[in-house]
A = this chain, B = another copy of it.
Amino acid sequence: MLNYDENKVLTEHRNGLALIPQVEEMVDQACREGYSNIFYIGIGGTVLSAGQMNHMAKQLGSRLPLYVENAADFCLVGNPFFDGRSLVVIESASGDTKEVVEAVKKAHEAGARVLGYVETPGTPLYEACDHVVSARGCSYYFWYTVTLRFLKNAGMFADYDRFFRELGNLPEAVVGIHKAADQAAADYAKTYCDEPITYLVASGNLEDWAVLYGMCIMEEMLWMRTRPISAANFFHGTLEVIERDVPVLLLKGEDQTRPEMDRVEDFVRKISAKVTVFDARDYELPGISREFRGLLSPLVIRSVCQRISTHLEDRRKHPMDIRRYYRRLDY
């Protein structure tokens, strides 16, 4: 399989599993100390990951006072519900994302506590967090554990223990997804790597993933033009620009909003000759109960998209580490 290191994948995911008890302790301590509300603060990909969790929590019936804020907005506008007993949760790979550093500073000035997943020890965000965990490539394990632990501690997710017991099967399951998706991902990349624009459609807990993948991977790392659009809004504008030769990439999950995606799929298959569907339902998750599959659609589709990225990188002859502007000049 192209550029695939199965052991690296397994290690990353096992490191994610190993992170869970630390994250649980972090959340439990915050709950023991009490809080007024919870703020997931991020920017770009991190605020979109947080958004996926927020959507998931809603589908689980969460009545937690949970707010998702873009760090740049939070720095300039704040939030009227934010106070000294607020809990801030952040994620950062670099550990020095400018807007998040500033948001954490602002949060601390208000007396709030900051819990974080920061991949790079010794960085400003690593040092600034009141409670921090660190690993590489495991941020999803952090977000799932934070979110579901808060829910469990508030009596809103009775299945917590079983869910995380079954999550132990995820590293091998992800390798299985990578292998199962690879040929379709390769075909997709071969056929569509040079399209002038790609419409990405998703719904529910994948809606923010469509934006994340379109923005942080296809735009930022592959220099492809994209138009992410939620299935919920698709029929209220974007449908009119779909034509026979317009590529539409549908990322289908298994949460409660799936009928929105079925509707979009029915429509675009009539209009466009360039429809590609990646459907979480098509991938096995051995050892994971059917009722948890919807919760895990973000991880399933992310795994599929990792194979798409690898093949797009190859077909476009564009190493994904290249940036022309991001952190290359002052702005």
A233 touching B215 by the CB < 8 A rule?
yes
| B residues less than 8 Å from A232 (CB atoms) | 43, 70-73
Knowing A204-B73, A259-B76, the reply to whether A236 touches B44 (Cβ < 8 A) is: yes
B72 touching A239 by the CB < 8 A rule?
no
A239 touching B77 by the CB < 8 A rule?
no
Report how many copies the assembly holds.
2
Chain A, residues 260-278, CB within 8 Å of chain B (1/0): the string is 1001001100110000000
A240 touching B70 by the CB < 8 A rule?
no
Closest to A236 in B: B44
B240 touching A323 by the CB < 8 A rule?
yes
Interface residues of A (CB under 8 A from B): 43-45, 47, 58-59, 61-63, 70-73, 76-77, 79-81, 196-197, 203-204, 214-216, 219-221, 223-227, 229-233, 235-242, 256-257, 259-260, 263, 266-267, 270-271, 323-326, 329, 331
Closest to A45 in B: B236
| B residues less than 8 Å from A263 (CB atoms) | 331
A220 touching B236 by the CB < 8 A rule?
yes
Closest to A222 in B: B240
Knowing A237-B220, A241-B225, the reply to whether A260 touches B204 (Cβ < 8 A) is: no
Q: How far is the CA of A331 from the CA of B262 in the complex (A)?
A: 10
B225 touching A44 by the CB < 8 A rule?
no
A and B contact pairs by CB, cutoff 8 A, 24 listed: A44-B233, A58-B77, A58-B79, A58-B80, A61-B80, A63-B80, A71-B232, A72-B231, A73-B203, A77-B204, A214-B237, A216-B236, A219-B237, A219-B241, A220-B240, A226-B227, A235-B326, A239-B325, A240-B324, A263-B331, A267-B325, A270-B329, A270-B331, A271-B325
| B residues less than 8 Å from A226 (CB atoms) | 227
Closest to A227 in B: B227
Q: How far is the CA of A326 from the CA of B233 in the complex (A)?
A: 12
| B residues less than 8 Å from A219 (CB atoms) | 237-238, 240-241
Closest to A221 in B: B240
A266 touching B227 by the CB < 8 A rule?
no
The 8 tightest CB contacts between A and B, nearest first, are A44-B236, A215-B237, A220-B237, A267-B331, A72-B232, A70-B232, A216-B237, A219-B237
